[in-house]
Amino acid sequence: MPTRLTRRDFAMTAGGGALAFSASDLTGQAALAAADTPTATSRSFPPGFLWGTATASYQIEGAVKVDGRGASIWDTFSHIPGKVRDDANGDVADDHFHLYRGDVGLMTALGATSYRFSISWPRVFPDGRGAPNPKGLDFYDALVDELLANGIEPFATLYHWDLPQALEDTVGGWQSKATPQAFAEYAGYVAARLSDRVKHFFTLNEFWTFIELGYGYGVHAPGLKLPPGELAQARHHALLGHGLAVQAIRAAGRPGTKVGLAENIGVCVPAIETPEHIEAAKIATRELNAGYATAMLEGRYTDAFLAAAGADAPKFTAREMQIIGSPLDFVGINIYNPGHYVRATDGEPGFAAIPFPASFPHMQSDWLRIGPEALYWGPRMLHEVWGVDEIYITENGTSSADVPADDGIVYDTDRIMYLRNYLGQLQRATAEGVPVKGYFLWSLLDNFEWADGYHNRFGIHYVDYATQARTPKLSARFYKAVIAGNAVV
């Protein structure tokens, strides 16, 4: 039996020079030497820790009209002038649909042991529901086989934002309860077909981002700016889709299939690591994630959340909350930045979130604030607040102003600095017994970065979009050394 999350009852009071390295170091059989068991050091990760990269279908696949794929809301949105930087779209992206074998080769060269990818819902159900497309899963079948043949464990995400356009057109997407139902049918279908080889399924990726940016701020597909009450209902429907999918995957998947989610919780970092501030950060973790993670991990909305929403609170039934709180086998969290620095207060609600000073450092984008300790506190909070005992870091990484040097290599020392410091904090968590089982670096390749188009590059492999050539950046060599040593290097 898979281990299930336990819940707690909460008493709430509220090397050498640059020339020593060439891109060819990262290709070919030499990388396989990484399979040797590394010697443990004080900077080591636990034996068997999974190392991988993460991607998402619409961001890399291209081939948007191949083999009967239907349109998604991102196809539509990206083709509306002015919505995406430089009016870019994912029609071709990294053409991973055709180049996946080589891309798995990049993973092999890194010595990676796992890979997180997402499945395009409209490839499988072009209309979102009804009859499945017979060819819809062929690509993923082949990808999974290729991964397994190379000793790489596949982790599949069922929803990374490419909602079938037909569902947006006919029922209003996540505004309707029909969408969670359709999502569960799709999830069950995929689990039945792939769970002989895929053991870990994530339901939805980053509830906060696709709902708030897509239905609230209108900067992601489908580009809506719903009023608060309707937005609250869309949030609730996304949670319901998660819960129904958990049940559908359990019903359709082979024994041993594990299911969880991949959410970008707002990581609450105690401003000072003393007991009172740590306690405040725990309270804040529940309340500042009440709309998503807390609801799914506890099967209820907190009293403070409902009180704050007032008349705009979501409408829900007890049965729905039970579905939303369906027990999970593991939890994935995407962590790029600290969500909040938190301090203790004497009165209610027991914590205060401190505004970020204007001088707080960040990477290429303003939101990519540099707070490596988020990779320590995120998993520790999941473990201590909700008793999660199987945790994955489902995304972590940064975009950088990458420019190939004369020798064709991107010397992305800023990305390495970012990764080294974040991984140091993750290592600290594992050394203290926080049950983090794996890490997926975002991303394998430069790719279609949503509203930022191709301008923001998150890959550890540089993609020349004119030729589709992939070139390992210096950070790929860094990551390869981390994987080989199973330690921060």
Q: Does 86 bind ligand PNW (CB under 6 A)?
A: no
Contact flags string 236-275 toward ligand PNW, x per CB under 6 A? ----------------------------x-----------
From 201-209, 250-258, 301-309, 419-427, give the range in contact with ligand PNW by CB under 6 A: 201-209
Beta bridge partners, 353, equal 342
Out of 61, 168, 206, 373, name the contact with ligand PNW by CB under 6 A. 206
Q: Closest separation between CB of residue 421 and ligand PNW, Å?
A: 18
Residue 20: CB atoms within 10 A of its CB come to 8
Q: Does 108 bind ligand PNW (CB under 6 A)?
A: no
Of 122-161, binders to ligand PNW (CB under 6 A) are none
Q: Closest separation between CB of residue 424 and ligand PNW, Å?
A: 21
Comparison of 81 and 367: residue with beta carbon closer to ligand PNW:
367
- CA-CA distance, 235 to 36, in Å (whole number)? 46
Comparison of 426 and 487: residue with beta carbon closer to ligand PNW:
426
The answer to whether the CB of 472 falls within 8 A of the CB of 26 is: yes
Q: Closest separation between CB of residue 72 and ligand PNW, Å?
A: 14
The answer to whether the CB of 457 falls within 8 A of the CB of 399 is: yes
Q: Closest separation between CB of residue 323 and ligand PNW, Å?
A: 24
Q: Does 442 bind ligand PNW (CB under 6 A)?
A: yes
From 16-24, 84-92, 204-212, 305-313, give the range in contact with ligand PNW by CB under 6 A: 204-212
Q: Count interface residues toward ligand PNW (CB under 6 A).
A: 12
Contact flags string 50-69 toward ligand PNW, x per CB under 6 A? ------x--x----------
- CA-CA distance, 56 to 329, in Å (whole number)? 22
Helix, strand, coil abundance in the chain, percent, nearest 5: 40, 15, 45
The answer to whether the CB of 256 falls within 8 A of the CB of 2 is: yes
From 36-44, 77-85, 131-139, 202-210, give the range in contact with ligand PNW by CB under 6 A: 202-210
The yes-or-no answer on residue 206 being catalytic is: yes
Q: Does 205 bind ligand PNW (CB under 6 A)?
A: yes
The answer to whether the CB of 445 falls within 8 A of the CB of 60 is: yes
Beta bridge partners, 340, equal 268
Question: Using alpha carbons only, what angle is made at residue 90 by residues 168 and 174, rounded to the nearest 5 degrees?
Answer: 20
Q: Closest separation between CB of residue 428 and ligand PNW, Å?
A: 23
Label the pairing between strands 153-159 and 200-205: parallel
From 105-113, 205-213, 269-277, 410-418, give the range in contact with ligand PNW by CB under 6 A: 205-213
The answer to whether the CB of 61 falls within 8 A of the CB of 446 is: no
Residue 346: CB atoms within 10 A of its CB come to 6
Residue 397 per-residue DSSP state: -
Separation in Å, CA 76 to CA 127, 163, 423: 14, 11, 37
Q: Closest separation between CB of residue 346 and ligand PNW, Å?
A: 32
The yes-or-no answer on residue 390 being catalytic is: no
Residue 225: CB atoms within 10 A of its CB come to 11
Q: Closest separation between CB of residue 416 and ligand PNW, Å?
A: 18
The answer to whether the CB of 108 falls within 8 A of the CB of 48 is: no
Burial of 81 (0-12, 13-18, 19+ CB in 10 A): exposed
User: Which SS3 state, helix, strand or coil, does residue 294 take?
Assistant: helix
Q: Does 209 bind ligand PNW (CB under 6 A)?
A: yes
Out of 301, 330, 458, 478, name the contact with ligand PNW by CB under 6 A. 458
Of 365-384, binders to ligand PNW (CB under 6 A) are 367
Q: Closest separation between CB of residue 60 and ligand PNW, Å?
A: 10
Nearest to 445, CA basis, from 91, 106, 149: 106
Nearest to 436, CA basis, from 335, 332, 337: 332
Comparison of 176 and 209: residue with beta carbon closer to ligand PNW:
209
Beta bridge partners, 354, equal 341
User: Which SS3 state, helix, strand or coil, does residue 438 take?
Assistant: strand
Contact flags string 305-344 toward ligand PNW, x per CB under 6 A? -----------------------------x----------
Q: Of the listed 153, 168, 206, 373, which one is catalytic?
A: 206
Catalytic residues: 206, 395
Binding site for ligand PNW (CB under 6 A): 56, 59, 205-206, 209, 264, 334, 367, 395, 442, 449, 458
